Amino acid sequence: MGMSTRILCFLVIAGCLPAVITPAHAVPVFARKYGFSCTMCHSSYPRLNDFGQRYRNNGYQLPGREENEQTVLDGPAPFAGRTNFGYNRDRFRNTPKAQNVNELQVGGLDILSAGLVKQNIGYFLVYLPEIRGSRGLAAQSGTLEMANVVFSHVTSLNLNARVGRFEGAWLPFSAKRLLTIAPYEIYDFTGPSGLSLAATQTGVELSGGTRSGLRYGAGWVDGSTTNTSSDAPSDLYLRAVKVFGPGEGQTAGQRLGAVAYFGEARPADALLANERHSLNRWGLDAAVNLREWNFDLQYLRGSDDAALAGRPGNYVFSGGFLQAMYLPSTKWVGVARYDLVNTPDGPGADIKRWTVAGRYYLADNIAWHTEYSRRTVDLFGTSQAKEDFFTTRIDWAF
């Protein structure tokens, strides 16, 4: 499919399909702005509850009170941070380049800023300063992880437009707001194209919804990290979601969704990297809420062109996760998740991860987090690369 044909198909489908956008990070600046508890938007920070989802979908404005909102110049200083301190133990087997960890450690720093510039114009910024690692201090690469502006209630269609760098609607479950240290494996998996769905991207996204619970999103972004700065943005995505019952499918109601992502990337092999080749990702997801229980399900299938993989046929992989959360109160939450990625490198060449975690909230924005995770990667024959990870730490936003 040529680029012009692809964009035409995108514009036609975008006008018909309707998504929900999942945000990233916990931002205490909003609690300070309104004088409310962080639990106004978070049942278990950093995960959003239904009201928090609606607040973000409304461009960081209280629904129905847009005309009375304060801008960043009228309210408290719009800055916040997040870090953690605790004990980490990480053990690897059959993984030569991995280094074991067994220490008390300060784990990175996020600096955030967010708010309204004026009515219906908001922004969100996340900066990770560079930190040189040492014993007791986790290394961190300096990067501007997010920097975007949100235009809300655009035209009579009541659309939102987000421009800049963001985590968009291609992710049904935010990779930045998950309640575990262990990542969603299917989102982190890159394949030969180098495309990680967990990574933020630069581009433009339109989103909206109806009163009947239909949500939609569509975007145009830079795409794979194997592309060069001279390559025109060519990745397009669509997401459609239906919410049943009350809520937004976060802490009440049930949610079903679908996503389609397609774009282009360059082969990693320098000898073959003179042109770009196609890739696509297709996914189905669901969120089910039953009293104190929440169940999240993700299935994703990806295909990279044969030229990207350097093999006779396309590189096709699939996988997903099943996650169960128990939220009896705003004080604590329990999480259990199984992740699986099936790759085409041979019989049983899978990535598997089991994770269990618990968080107890000493305050709205301070959590004691304990987690154990085991990850296995099938190698040639019957051998496996294994990782056993354990942490107990204090995680706080300020």
Q: What is the pLDDT of residues 106-146, one digit of tens each?
A: 998 999 999 999 999 999 999 999 999 999 999 999 999 99
Cα separation, 360 vs 216, in Å, equals 34
- Report the pLDDT averaged over residues 51-67: 86
Residue with tokens 């299935």: 299
Q: What is the pLDDT of residue 4?
A: 42
Taking only the tens place, the pLDDT of each residue in 193-230 is 999 999 999 999 999 988 888 999 999 999 999 998 99
207-245 burial: b if 16+ Cβ within 10 Å, else e: bbbeeebebbbbbbbbbbebbeeeeebbbbbbbbbbbee
Contacts of 227 (CB under 8 A, 6+ apart): 264, 265, 266, 276
Distance from first CA to last CA of the chain, Å, rounded?
Answer: 48
